[in-house]
Chain A
Amino acid sequence: MTDRSFDPEELGLVAGLEIHQQLDTATKLFCDSPTTLHDPEESQRTITRYLHPTKSELGEIDEAALEESQVDRTFEYLAYDTTCLVEEDDEPPHELDGEALEVAMQIADLLDMHVVDQAHVMRKIVIDGSNTSGFQRSTLLAQEGEIETEDGPVGIEDLMLEEESAKRVEETDEGVRYSLDRLGIPLVEIGTKPDISTPAQAREAAQRIGMLLRSTGTVKRGLGTIRQDVNVSIAEGARVEIKGVQALDQIAEIVETEVRRQKELVDIAAELDERGAAAGDPVDVTDAFADTDSGVIAGALNSGGVVHAVRLAGFDGLVGTEIAPDRRLGTELSDHAKRHGAGGIFHTDELPAYGVTDAEVDALREAVDAGEDDAVALVADDPETAELAIEAAAERAETAIDGVPEETRGANDDGTTRYMRPLPGAARLYPETDVPPVEPDPSEVETPELLTEKVDRYQAEYGLGAGLAEQVAYGRRMPLFESVVADGVDPTFAATTLESTLTELRRHDVPVGELTDDHLRDVLGLVEDGDLAKEGVGDVLTVLAEDPGLSAPEAVEEAGLSGVNEDEVREAVAEVVERNAEQVDAEGMGAFSGLMGEAMGALRGKADGEVVSDVLREEIQKRA
């Protein structure tokens, strides 16, 4: 970062987390469609819709929703053979899914929360198209919990059970294309209290909550199935909600960067205030760029566009001030302009550049009556976009004089953030009248064993090594592991197969992602029943991964590992012993290890090593 100090505690950092976790239930939250995902190419129908803002039951319109609606967009939805009319918003929602409710109550229990007496399903207005209805159904299910971290307890404010949004597939010329497979998957949203005072504590809290969630064994795993939002403010700053932090490792960096951004903005505001800064009214300055060599501007003008500019009195030098790595105040202005369809802005702190000449900058300054202490921002685009975009940029500049604006921002991959929309308010929520209130009964909910407890138990009870125990407990096949062990499969064998064997196969480019829990359960069962040698498991799984349509016994046959029963083993072993009769007579059991290798070779992995060893022992003894 920079050589300046941005000590979070000193600056009065207050941070909270919002964790969103998809649940791995059989059906969606308000209909009976499965929660499986599809490739967009599998879609069979598309539906096109538009959304319009509506008032809450108190007659208010949410500011975030209103801003979103000013961006007129077409939403296209990809539907699949699994899609039903509820997901297409062409049928009222069914009742709240019982399985999802139960898992959510388990999570509430693990977070030491109080489940509400009566849960009301609400509609949260979201008109970016990610919900076909124009709202996300969300239910406050539990309140007031707590988790421990090394830096002290972190309160849990609330737990919401809600529906996942549709997945954004791509931007289209007129809007956005979404996929309906993800829409309606149950999701819990857990909000902490603003008890977090260091970036490291934010990370630890997120990690702890993640562990608790996975302890239920009923949460989705993999990229995008858990998302973190971080709420950050410093003493002189403002509450900023940062959406879509993908990795835990990013949380500390995001918080640090946001602390710096807020501090820089606070300092800029102080300087602007001292200078008596103000944003002026936008002006059409197209004439100043009549013969421009700037590609961006010329491109806009050639297609009937205009250049609009605004004088930012007292802003000279500050628009170009870096407030986060490679992001300036100018970038913030630009983000707002982009919301209205513009490609971005230019400002005088960075000009002349991009083909804009000194003479043009002078003409620009003159056109908006800007002095040397002033900055000028400009947008080149079609007239309507240019007008909206420069106004948005000017408004953002005006806000900079007051300090840090409250807003919703999106996390970038590099740990910085970008402006998304105003903070949503209470007005975006109103009752979902199609679903009656639910009275949840937490008394029947079983408290799941924590993953940390599982690690200990796997070691103590099953004799797994610490590393393997942790791998299994935190791995996505933990529920399968527990279920096969309960069915009698040897724990060490099950653990090695589900972790080491699969990892090894993946390294050899076997598509292990194709293996279902049923595949693995069946193969382990075959070994348990003596129908497959442990040594053959890798080969059979390889066959199944490459041809998932096969049953486990079919795969055994396909791998050429079938048909070796104990009689055949005895026959093969007897032959080996016969062939080496001299050695056996001479060495007795001393010949065992040498002959074992030969016997296994003769059976080519079709027989279980333990069986072969038992038989060999017996055959040697016979001669003794």
Chain B
Amino acid sequence: MSDKILEIQGVSKFFGSVIALQNVSMFVRPGEVTCLLGDNGAGKSTLIKTLAGVHKPSEGKYFFEGSETLFESPREALNAGIATVYQDLAMIPLMSIWRNFFLGSEPLKAGPIFDIENAKRITREEMAKMGIDIRDPDQPVGTLSGGERQSVAIARAVYFGAKVLILDEPTAALGVKQAGVVLRYIVEARNRGIGVIFITHNPHHAYPVGDHFVILKRGQIFGDYAKEEVPIDHLIQMMAGGADLEQLQHELAEATGRS
């Protein structure tokens, strides 16, 4: 296995009194898919936003390509080759598809002049690769269906993700066919040597593509398992919070015993 492209050590993130992440360490290797799993509110999105330069870690260290780094903005992370599909997609509803696709990374032809023809063409091509045939690149993103919008965000990240691709629940709103396309994308990106972080609540999406599974629980790392170590049913059980369920049963018994 090759060297870690991205690594965090002992990272914590506080929002006022809220502890969203505590002492989290994880890494991404090129040509590997890291699945990030955990309950709602476990801190997955906060973690990837920290990796993507949106949040600065409150504590801990961030290494990119072996040297300690601190991305001041998402722009710096993008320039380093880290592209992200955010859970809220980061799309501007009133803007057209092609304007959204290239927002923040506009191709220029002369001086500051935006190469609009190419932007439209690439948008159409990249969307077609996802199996989505866009009618009109000038259509405002706000008028697309939820899945179509998600596909634009994914196509954009795949197009710009040179070294690391981060996907926060990219398959949540997708049809079977488009979800399949996204999974194939993830595998393709991995085969090209890109390090992928994939967040999902669906074990049947995570298991086939993941190389290792990082489980986050209440802002802390609960475990990091290589695929060989966990059979799928065990993974499902952990994702459903097996231990939690037992505890819940225990508490219920206690509560009913008391009343």
Q: Do A and B come from one complex?
A: no
